[in-house]
Amino acid sequence: MPLPLILGAAALISAAYGAKKGYDGYQKHSEADDIVNTAKKRYDQKKDTFDMQEKATISALEILGKEELRIGKQFDEFKNLADALLKQLNAGRQSKLEVSIPKHKLQSITSYSYTAVGVLGAAAGAGFAGAAAGFAVYGGVMALGAASTGTAISSLAGVAATNATLAAIGGGSLATGGLGMAGGTAILGVAVAGPVMAIAGWAYDSHGEEALKNARKADHEVDGAVTKLENALQQLSKTEDYAFDINDVLAAVYKQFNEYFEHLKVVDRHLEDVKSRKLDPQTEMAKLGDAILRLINNGYALAAILVDLITTPLFKVKEIHGNVVKDNNDVPVMATDADGSMILNSKKLDQQLSETKANAALIEAA
């Protein structure tokens, strides 16, 4: 066969082969595009659901935190009134009347109230909602260890203002890791969809193989991210449920507490009226002494029950030899699972919710 014909045939074969490889490359790129786009859509859908649940959970924690702070402030006002009335009751008495609540319970009420009032003072303004959510997460853990210097309070206020703290409820570094995967997938998508017309058949096919390999890798990573999002989603949902359950029980028991508090206020106003009419307040106190003491005792008993519930950690704290681990800012370190999510204190919370309702019912029946 003449050389030109041989060269021509070879050229046709090479062109056909190159075209085939180019087509193969195009197919692989198209497949890579489909894999990447499908994976990204799957991730985005789950992330949207996660974001909605995260907002709902933070909202529930804000509601719970606001209620806990409000209750703490009321404890401070109740204590001031109870102390004033006890002082009047004991004026001129040889044997002093005392409340029957154990001293360590009274101290826990005072300590909790001190922390709540301090946070309310430190978190006024636009940041209050975030502080309230943070208080729902950390307040119970920190309240009983609040230093008289206010150091614990300032640390808590700082924690409450940090979004990363709340993010840890549903996955710790999930936001960073998740977005990293999404970003990587997006970049891969852009690379795969880039201009390829100038690439020769072999090179194009080689790039197609690499793109397909990277797309499959990204798809696998998205599977992992979606699984982690799903786990975090369930964690956030359970957290929201507990926030509402705790808030419901707090509201019911606080209503009981407030009835005693309001009665004490009525007594206090009555005594002020007695003084204004220049009658003998000690005579009135003698008449009302037993009733006043019962109101104070029952009020404190309910306050102690509320503090026990509020200071039950929403999440498990990290402990070493029974001692709570704290960071450099004196903030308790939470225990986390393999995904970096804080672990709900479910068993203890369920037990405490049940005990709170039962103990409050006993006082109501007494």
Tokens at residue 342, please?
């804080």
Tokens at residue 358, please?
């039962």
Q: Using CA atoms, how far apart are residues 55 and 244, in angstroms rounded to an integer?
A: 14
Q: Whole-model pTM? A: 0.77
Q: What is the mean pLDDT of the chain?
A: 74
- pLDDT given at position 7: 38
Answer yes or no: is pLDDT of 20 > 90: no
What Rg, from alpha-carbon coordinates, does the chain have? 33
Range from 22-31, 105-114, 265-274, 322-331 carrying the lowest mean pLDDT: 22-31
Average pLDDT of 20-48?
74
Between 120 and 347, the more confident residue is 347
- pLDDT given at position 25: 61
Task: Name every residue whose Cβ is closer than 8 Å to that of residue 45 and which is 6 or more positions away in sequence.
Answer: none
Range from 212-216, 257-261, 314-318 carrying the lowest mean pLDDT: 212-216
Average pLDDT of 96-111?
89
Closest CA to 336 of 186, 190, 169: 169
- pLDDT given at position 185: 29
Tokens at residue 355, please?
């005990």
| pLDDT band per the 50, 70, 90 thresholds, residue 102 | very high
Task: Catalogue the E-assigned strands of 210-330.
Answer: 319-320, 323-324
Q: Using CA atoms, how far apart are residues 148 and 115, in angstroms rounded to an integer?
A: 9
